[in-house]
Each structure stands twice: as structure tokens, then as C-alpha cells.
Structure 1
Amino acid sequence: MESARDVGILLSRENIELRKRPIRAIVRTPDYRLPRDLRTWSLDYLNYRAKTGRIYNDSVLCLASDILSDDVVKLRAGRYFDFMCSNLLAPLDIWEVGRKSPALRGRDLILDAEGRLVPFKRSRLANHIGVSTLALTTDGQLLLVAQTDDNIGSPGLLAPSGSGALEPRDVPRDTDDYTIQQVVINGAERELREECHLTAREIEESSLVGHGRWVSRGAMPEFCAVTLLNLSGDQMLDRSPRRVEQSYVHEFMPVSLAPLRLWDPNRPLEMLPHHRQAVSWPLALGLACLAECIKDESWSLRKAVLARLEG
């Protein structure tokens, strides 16, 4: 699946399970540690990335197992710099003076000897978990975020209504029994509130709709949700990004989606025909998952979403 600049994989088989049944999650120890051979080039690479956008080193949650391989999804803590020096390094080859072959072949970090993606449980990369949500207003418009050129995620492109990294604070604190669906929705709604200047009361309901692997970023995991808002598109236009978010968020954009008859999970960019050249990969993934869900009569938000889109 392609977007304006990147490629990735929609995991339809796993997404059916994610929508069908709760899947328990745990945060395991130890935290992710960057392998020694990757640390060799980490400072040089961080210096390079710092010139292309704003960077930070907050604590994030990483995926340490595959959705269908175990009964429990294993998460672990890590740092954002570790993600930058592993997943973002993976599409590159590292050369040293005097060598006739790369000192590090980036593709070997994401593909096995048979050319298949390395499972998360065997991956040497951080694999921090990306989360996003597509927010629909009361009048059926999709709320998009135009990202600034300083945003390291998808600079200058259109992103979902809220997008970012899953963090330890997104894990429920009052229980040890929680699901990956709960954790992802907590993170997606947090990002939505932060980026679109919303309060919890202005969010009606969210549903996890799927995930994929963002191959252009070291095949990292990316999860997406759909959220119903208690605000109209015009009400969102009256708002501006919070000052703390203005380095990353340029503006909010309520837009209309293409007619339902044109929705195709294999062609998500056709759902935003007027903006297809500016669609980021997380946005393309979210649209593809939404197109899958709208055909699934068992999806919990299907009737509510259809009512808004057709109203």
C-alpha cells in the first residue's frame, strides 16, 4: 500500500481478529536496548536527523510480539532516539571508507533471508508503536491535520486527526488486565486531544479499526482508530492549534470524503481525491482500514459512521 511518499503493508488478517475479539496486552521487561552495532552509528545519524526536523527523546512503547502469534501482545518501553537509530536507519546502507560492501545493510534489519518481514518477536529494531485516529465531525467531515515541515513524522503532509507514538502513560494504571485495543485507543485519543485542541467531553466514542507495518520506517507497527466527535466541521475551524503544538501542527482541515461507492481498501487515496498527493502513510492506512470496516456489518461504529456520512 502506497501513500504520497511511503510504502507499507495493511495486515487484513490480523485486523479481522483485532476487530472481532479483545486481545490482552502486557508490558514486559527489560526495556528495549539498542544493539551494539547500531549504537556505532547512532550519534552520527541523530546529528543528521536533527537537521531535518525537530526531535525529542521521550519514553515510548514498543511492540515485542506479533498480534496472532501469542494469546498476549507483548509491549516494552523504549526511547524515541532508539527508534530513530534503528527503524529510521533500517532503510539505509552504511558504508565505510575502504570497504567494497556496506558495513551495515539496512534491509537485513527488516527482511529475513527469504525476503519476508522479520517478525516483531525476532526483530532487533525498537519498533515503537505508532497510533492515529480518523475523527468524524457531527456533519460527517473528516478532520485532517496539516503537518509543518519541522514534523519528523510526515513533514508537510496531511496526517490523521491525531497521530504519534504510544507512550507508557497510555497503559491503564488501575488494573493489570487490559487489551491492546484499550491501550491503542487511549494513545490515539490523547494524540487527538493534544493536536486538535480538544477536551475529553468533545470525544464521543472511538473504535480500533486495524494496523499495518510502515515499511519505509523500518516496518514499524502502526495502529489506527476511528473517533466520533461532538463538534461540527465549522466549530473545528474556529479553533487553532495550541502553542505547544504549533511546531508540528500547521492547521486543522475538515474535509468531505468521496462517496461510499468509491471506497476501496486497496485504493485508499481515492477516498480523498482532492488531497491524494499530500496523504501521509498513517492517513492512507487509516482510510484503508475504514473502507474495510464500513463493509463489516459487525463493526460497532458502522451504523453511527454511516449516519454521519449520509446525513
Structure 2
Amino acid sequence: MRCARGTVVTSRSIDRSLDRPVVLAEQPYVLPPDLAAIQPEVLALDRSGPGAPSFNGLNAGLSEDLDPAGGEIRLQPVRYFDTMASTYLAGEQWRTGTPAGVSADITHHLFTADGRLVPLSKNDLSNQIGVSTVALTSDGWMLLLHQGMGSRSSPGLVAPSGSGSLEPKDIIGTTRLSEAVSTGMERELREELGLLTPAMRKIPMETTVLGFARWLDKGGKPEFYGTTRINAAMSDLDLRIHESELDYVGRHEPISPADVARLLAGERFGALGLGAPSVPLEMCLGLIVSR
């Protein structure tokens, strides 16, 4: 599927089988030798850029492809710096200080010689899981945000209400993939909308995982998309940008019920004149409309 700002690979049969058992492995992801060799240079270049050095947070990676027939799926802990030196190098060749040749190129990790995606279990990349959800309030408002310029994914674009990475803590206490993913979606949503005060944390939410894709522009990384119902009216929400999100959230963008109705009727987001949508936002809206 081609979006305005990227391309993803989808599967309707997989989307119908997301409620399956999940287990988190103890053994963390380890970079293959060719990528481990260039990781210090990758991180050094990142630190020399306009943003602050990235935090080496602990995320969750997908260790194997989702079988449309269902069955247990295995996740593994992944460090963010390992994703920077693997999945996020998609489309780039890393050269040594001399013009002699390429020292690392993830293309062979990602595609076979005939252009097929290498299975997640065999590509040796971090396969860090992305989660995105679009929130609707009880009185029909949709809450979106403009991605900050410090964000590695989709800077400056209009993004879902919550969009980030699944973390091991989202999986603790769960036995189903859909439950773990929806927990991660709601955590990202609360962080990016600033619903973190005691009063806001009491507001119940209901999240539905709608679909799955692999985002080719991001090294074929696995992505889950959903929608969240916030059981409160727009006027009852205390939206704010938390200090920890200043680099990643430019501003919030509430969408009126009238414009939400246009989107749910299938009108393209660009028609609202609010900016260009990110790939995760396009995917979430498309899946909501198709339900």
C-alpha cells in the first residue's frame, strides 16, 4: 500500500488473526557483526545532528512473521541504539573513510535477490515494533498531533494521537498479543497527549487493534495500528505537552466532530488543510474507515 509519505506491506488475513498468544523471550536482540562494527559511528553521527542524543530505551521486537493461521508469537527485548544501527539504516550504505567500498548495507538483510522481504526470523534486524492509535472522545472529537522536529519518524507531519514503540513493560501481565499492543498504544497516547495527571489517568479508555503492516521505508519494521475511545468529553480533557515530549510533539490538533464525519466518510485527510499526514496516521484512518 502506497501512502503519501511511504509504503507498507499489509495482509488482511493477518489483520483478522491478531488476537493470539504472545510470549516475551529473555534473550535480547544482538546486532549481527557487520552492523555492530558500524554502530559507534552511527551513534556519533546522530549526536552531531540537530537533536539531542537519543535515549537507549528498551523496546520490544518481533522475532518472527505473523502466521495468518494464528498461533503463539514471540517477542524479544531490543535496545533503541540497536534499531538505529539496523532497521533505521534502510536505503543507506555505510562507507568507510576511504572510497574503497561499502562497509555495511542492510539491503541484503531486508530483501532477497528477487525482491522479496526476508522473513523477520531471518533478517537479523532489530524489528522494533511500532504502535499507533487514533483517539476519539465520547462527544466525537478526534485528537491528533503535529510531530515534533526531534522525532526520528515523520517529523513535521500530522500524526496519530499516540505513536511510538512497544515496550517490554507493555507485555508484562498479558498473555495475548492484541492486549499487549493496545496497552502500548494507550501508554503512548497518554504520554503524547499529556494525560498524565492523577485525574486524567482515571479516565477509562478502550483500544481496538485494527491492523498490522511492515513499513518498508523504515527497514520493513513491524507496525500495529488501532483506535482508542476516550470515555470523556473533549471539554473534560486537560491536554498538555509533557516536558519529556517537547522534542517529539509540536502541538496537538483536535479535529471537530464535523470534520471527523468527513474523514469517516472516506475523505482524504489532506482536504482538511491541516498539513500532511504521516504513514501511521494514514494507516489508522484507512483501517477505521474500512471497518
TM over 0.5: yes
Measured in 1, the distance between the counterparts of 2:194 and 2:113 equals 46
1:29 to 26, 29, 33: 26
Shift of 1:273: 2.2
Shift of 1:158: 1.2
Shift of 1:234: 4.2
3-state secondary structure, aligned to 1:40: helix
What corresponds to 1:217 in structure 2?
218
CA RMSD of aligned residues (A): 2.2
Shift of 1:103: 3.4
Question: What TM-score, normalized by structure 2, do the two folds share?
Answer: 0.88
What corresponds to 2:286 in structure 1?
288
Measured in 2, the distance between the counterparts of 1:80 and 1:68 equals 26
- The count of aligned residue pairs is 280
Measured in 2, the distance between the counterparts of 1:276 and 1:73 equals 38
Does structure 2 conserve the Cα–Cα contact (< 8 Å) formed by 1:161 and 1:196?
A: yes
User: Within 5 A, what are the aligned runs for 1:41-120?
Assistant: 41-50=38-47, 51-54=49-52, 55-68=54-67, 71-96=71-96, 97-99=98-100, 102-120=102-120
Question: What TM-score, normalized by structure 1, do the two folds share?
Answer: 0.83
1:259 to 252, 257, 262: 262
1:229 partnered with 2:195:
no
3-state secondary structure, aligned to 1:120: coil
Measured in 2, the distance between the counterparts of 1:232 and 1:272 equals 26
Structure 2, gaps ≥5 residues long: none
1:9 partnered with 2:22:
no
Shift of 1:95: 3.0
What corresponds to 2:185 in structure 1?
188
Does structure 2 conserve the Cα–Cα contact (< 8 Å) formed by 1:4 and 1:276?
A: no
Counterpart AA for 1:229: I
Shift of 1:258: 5.3
Measured in 1, the distance between the counterparts of 2:150 and 2:234 equals 26
1:202 partnered with 2:200:
no
Structure 1, gaps ≥5 residues long: 264-268, 294-311
Q: Could you say if the C-alpha distance between residues 240 and 276 of structure 1 is closer, same or farther in structure 2, counting changes exceeding 3 Å?
A: closer
Measured in 1, the distance between the counterparts of 2:235 and 2:251 equals 14
Counterpart AA for 1:62: G
Measured in 1, the distance between the counterparts of 2:205 and 2:93 equals 46
Measured in 2, the distance between the counterparts of 1:32 and 1:110 equals 16
The Cα offsets for residues 50-86 of structure 1, whole Å up to 9 and x where unpaired, read as 3153411011100001111761111000100001110
What corresponds to 2:123 in structure 1?
123
What corresponds to 1:305 in structure 2?
none
3-state secondary structure, aligned to 2:287: helix
Does structure 2 conserve the Cα–Cα contact (< 8 Å) formed by 1:3 and 1:279?
A: no
